[in-house]
Amino acid sequence: MKKLVLLAAAAAMTISASAQTLKFAHVNFTELVSLAPEADEARKVISASQKDAEETFQSMYEEYQTKVSQYQQKAETWNQSVRQTKEKELSDLQSRIQEFQQSVQQELQQQQSKLMNPIQEKAMKAVEQLAKEGGYIYVFDRSQVLYFDPAQSTDLTPAARKAMNIPEGRTMESLQAELAAQAQGQQQ
């Protein structure tokens, strides 16, 4: 019985000692992915694709509006067959526009995934490497954790930024300002 108590006490001390050596870290994964130099190129490609899609949609919509206007102006002068043909043409064009919107939205999402997945994988590898080198048992994404104590968790974001070649002065705020300036420049 005495041996059992001693074994339990030894086990408790071992668990307690090992719990004290556990190392935790956190990282801002969104920042790593968003600020990666490769993300700038991905955003350019996605933006160009969106612009092309918008131009195509605008062209299709203008064609539709022109035909609706023509229909409204001339419908009373057309015989039944011509009016039905024009109504079917308008309906078909409207369906094509809706199909285009749906398919282009899916294609843009797929393109974004295709372009951003390698960046996410690179960020994940950088974090994993830093965690292994530092002997961390867990690395949490700051955006996914409700609370953490910064005194008991190491922020790996600066080291991961360096590993991913993110310029030192680049921040989420500076990125947002860049994107806002680009959007404003495109509107003018």
What's the pLDDT tens digit per position in 37-91? 999 999 999 999 999 999 999 999 999 999 999 999 998 999 999 999 999 999 9
Of the chain, the percentage scoring pLDDT greater than 70 comes to 89
All residues at 6 or more sequence positions from 133 whose CB lies less than 8 Å from its CB, including other chains:
none
Q: How far apart are CA 86 and CA 70, in angstroms?
A: 10
What is the pTM (predicted TM-score) of this model? 0.75
Is the pLDDT score of 121 beyond 70?
Answer: yes
Of the chain, the percentage scoring pLDDT greater than 90 comes to 74
> Residue 8 has what pLDDT?
42
> Residue 186 has what pLDDT?
76
State mean pLDDT over 132-140: 95
Q: How far apart are CA 163 and CA 45, in angstroms?
A: 24
> Residue 9 has what pLDDT?
42
